[in-house]
């Protein structure tokens, strides 16, 4: 029997470090035996030449493979995430090239697209469905313009109104809409204000709980990570993920100055993003010796960096409830580490922390309360702290296992005909 041909359209895919790229890579690898899969994604930013380590000349469209998966890689401008004009240029070039790549593929049974880049990710799928006369699944990882509204990305309200109308059109044209949290499903329903809501379901994101497991602080690779970065004998508060615009990190970083006299407390921020430079500048200006910045860690060593922490920050900006779910929480729970959640009550991640008992939660922008909760964890009995983290691991294994979400995707994609 011939396999159903699915085109996955996403700006990031293996080997990119972006969380959506890693999730999509794992999803496609898991589904490749059941479907004929082609992925449309951007080319990695730097491709070294084999002989002289310089950039090679890249084509507009390059074909690649990952096991049985065909990848069409698009040449797009390098993006400066701190520059709005650079981001806009990247988004528009990606949008147009992804559409061209999609149209060039002859036989398509189903298009799967995600909500990145904002609005246009869904629109690629909507145009593709009409042009190719096929089916569409739209995965909403983040609701926009709601996300942009939360950080007042622009004062032009008409832009938000237009963007929401366009994204609602993409939802209506979809055969099925996937959200990644129950609070996000509520947002989808509320968007249509009593009118018919598109067919939809919730499928949680995940981490590979077989790969990321709780490890002792004495594990050789965990110890090596600490020694390498000067973190021995420290109580480590870690943030591992995108240092972007939607997490209030440019204000949260100021809380680190409250711990300047706590020689045993060290904050570690792992990742890249639009506010990293401003965070580093604050640390420099404030003379905070208790803050370490590190780049994204290779996928194969993330299990060790996550386990090096005593507690992890999982944060979102105020107004993000029902708009986005920070995927980093799954990795933290898999590693069996306590969570300090700076999250709105009732949001998906806050509900997971409360249901599992794996940490503490404070509302966004209540910085003094966040500082107090960090102090409380730093003073907590180490055995009690360990049990708190392991409660998250147990909850993840029972309710949020990777295979559970993969099976839901497989069933859904097979059902759409």
pLDDT in tens, 212-251: 999 999 999 999 999 999 999 999 999 999 998 889 999 9
Distance, CA of 179 to CA of 203 (rounded, Å): 6
* Integer CA distances (angstroms), 342 to 202, 245, 303, in order: 23, 15, 23
pLDDT(148) > 90: no
Distance, CA of 288 to CA of 256 (rounded, Å): 7
- Tell me the Cα Rg of the chain: 21
pLDDT(39) > 90: yes
pLDDT(151) > 90: no
Tokens of 96: 């147009």
Mean pLDDT, residues 264-284: 95
Average pLDDT, the chain: 93
The sign one gets for the Cα dihedral 13, 14, 18, 24 is: positive
In the prediction, which pLDDT does 48 show?
42
Given pLDDT bands bounded at 50, 70 and 90, which one contains residue 362?
A: very high
Mean pLDDT, residues 3-24: 92
Burial grade of 342 (CB within 10 A; 0-12, 13-18, 19 or more): buried
In the prediction, which pLDDT does 253 show?
97
- Give percent above pLDDT 70 in the chain: 96
Beta-bridge partner residues of 176: 137
Given pLDDT bands bounded at 50, 70 and 90, which one contains residue 78?
A: confident
Domains of the chain: 4-206+401-415 (3.40.50.2000), 220-399 (3.40.50.2000)
Given pLDDT bands bounded at 50, 70 and 90, which one contains residue 56?
A: low
């Amino acid at each position: 029997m011939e396999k159903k041909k699915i085109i996955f359209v996403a700006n990031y895919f293996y080997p990119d470090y972006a969380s959506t790229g890693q999730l999509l890579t794992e999803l496609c690898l898991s589904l490749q035996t059941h479907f004929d899969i082609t992925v449309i994604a951007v080319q990695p930013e730097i491709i070294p030449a084999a002989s002289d380590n310089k950039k090679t000349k890249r084509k507009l469209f390059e074909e690649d493979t990952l096991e049985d998966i065909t990848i069409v890689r698009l040449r797009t401008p390098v993006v400066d995430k701190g520059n709005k004009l650079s981001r806009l240029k990247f988004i528009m070039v990606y949008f147009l090239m992804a559409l061209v790549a999609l149209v060039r593929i002859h036989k398509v049974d189903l298009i799967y697209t995600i909500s990145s880049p904002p609005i246009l990710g869904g629109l690629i799928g909507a145009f593709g469905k009409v042009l190719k006369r096929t089916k569409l699944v739209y995965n909403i990882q983040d609701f926009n313009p709601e996300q942009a509204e939360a950080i007042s990305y622009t004062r032009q309200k008409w832009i938000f109104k237009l963007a929401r109308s366009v994204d609602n059109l993409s939802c209506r044209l979809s055969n099925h809409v996937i959200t990644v949290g129950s609070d996000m499903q509520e947002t989808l329903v509320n968007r249509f204000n009593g009118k018919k809501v598109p067919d939809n379901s919730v499928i949680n994101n995940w981490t590979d709980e077989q790969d990321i497991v709780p490890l002792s602080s004495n594990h050789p690779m965990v110890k090596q990570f600490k020694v390498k970065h000067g973190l021995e004998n420290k109580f480590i508060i870690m943030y591992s993920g995108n240092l972007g615009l939607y997490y209030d990190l440019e204000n949260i970083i100021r809380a680190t100055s409250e711990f300047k006299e706590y020689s045993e407390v060290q904050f570690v921020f792992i990742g890249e993003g639009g506010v990293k430079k401003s965070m580093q500048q604050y640390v420099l200006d404030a003379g905070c010796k208790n803050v370490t910045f590190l780049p994204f860690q290779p996928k194969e060593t993330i299990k060790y960096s996550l386990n090096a922490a005593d507690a992890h920050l999982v944060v979102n900006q105020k107004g993000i409830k029902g708009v986005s779910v920070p995927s980093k929480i799954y990795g933290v729970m898999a590693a069996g580490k306590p969570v300090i959640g700076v999250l709105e009550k009732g949001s998906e991640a806050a509900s997971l922390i409360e249901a599992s008992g794996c940490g503490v939660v404070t509302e966004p922008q209540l910085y003094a309360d966040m500082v107090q909760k960090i102090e409380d964890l730093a003073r907590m009995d180490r055995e009690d702290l360990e049990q708190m983290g392991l409660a998250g691991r147990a909850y993840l294994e029972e309710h949020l296992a990777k295979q559970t979400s993969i099976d839901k995707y497989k069933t859904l994609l097979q059902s759409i005909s």
